[in-house]
Amino acid sequence: MTFLQSIPFETIGVAVFALSGALMAARKGMDPFGFALLATLTGVGGGTVRDVLIGIRPVFWVGDPGDVLVCLIVAELVFILGPKRVTWIEGGRQGRLLLWADALGLALFAVSGTAKALGAGVPALSAVALGTITATFGGIIRDIFAGTTPLVLRQEIYVTAAALGAAVMVALQALGLNPFLSAATGFIAAFTLRALALLRGWSLPAFPKRD
């Protein structure tokens, strides 16, 4: 049993991404159903795309609906908090919780997605790609459904951070490092890069706009 199988690592990622989806629903002023839908799409979206590409049947949340239940609980808890508490958490010196929840989910899914891909026997480069997809597609789906430009289209260091975490994990495992340390180091690499981008305003260079 691997490290990522021994603890509910992916479920933690699902919960954190579901939180980011629920916070986006709060910003958009959605009803409880909207909260539930956006949180669930965000929480399981990336993992669903990964499982479909790998050919895993059934998809992880179909075989075990516990992850969907986690999304629903997170969504309704945020809704119950009410607009004043959610606004206080997100605003001022408390920081941009939506972006930080997304950053944490990004790092968690980068390593859990990579681990599942490696466990399915895919090549190393494919495992990096699948880890990156797992980490980013939930946020992409969230932003599209919320009518917001996805982070990956805003010059954000987003996909790069996920790819870094996945690549670090794969490289360290190839060198024979313990799976726990490989996953932990990959997580730290992904979260650190994304956190620095948020704190220091780092972004990728963009091609000049043309008329």
Q: What share of the chain is helix, strand, coil (3-state, %, to 5)?
A: 80, 0, 20
The tens-digit pLDDT sequence of the chain (211 residues) is 344 444 567 788 899 999 989 988 988 889 999 999 999 999 999 999 999 999 999 999 998 899 999 999 999 999 998 776 666 555 544 347 778 888 999 999 999 999 999 999 999 999 999 999 999 999 899 999 999 888 777 777 899 999 999 999 999 999 999 988 999 999 999 999 999 998 888 888 877 777 6
pLDDT of the residue at 90: 54
pLDDT of the residue at 100: 85
The total domain count for the chain is 1
Contact 150, 143 (CB under 8 A): yes
Any domain includes 176: yes
Any domain includes 92: yes
Any domain includes 151: yes
Per-position DSSP letters for 184-199, written without gaps between them: HHHHHHHHHHHHHHHH
**Eight-class DSSP state of 208:** P
Amino acid occupying residue 123? P
pLDDT of the residue at 156: 78
Any domain includes 209: no
pLDDT of the residue at 33: 96
| Phi/psi of residue 59, nearest 5 degrees | -55, 150
pLDDT of the residue at 43: 95
Distance CA(21)–CA(120), nearest Å, equals: 29
Any domain includes 207: no
| CB neighbourhood size of 30 (10 A) | 18
DSSP helix/strand/coil, 203: strand
Contact 46, 143 (CB under 8 A): no
Any domain includes 142: yes
Per-position DSSP letters for 148-189, written without gaps between them: ---GGGTTBS-HHHHHHHHHHHHHHHHTT--HHHHHHHHHHH
Contact 78, 35 (CB under 8 A): yes
pLDDT of the residue at 86: 67
User: What residues have CB less than 8 Å from 67, skipping those under 6 apart?
Assistant: 10, 11, 14, 43, 44, 60, 61
Any domain includes 94: yes
Any domain includes 205: no
Task: Say which residue the tokens 């670090």 belong to.
Answer: 168
Range of the domain at 132: 3-200
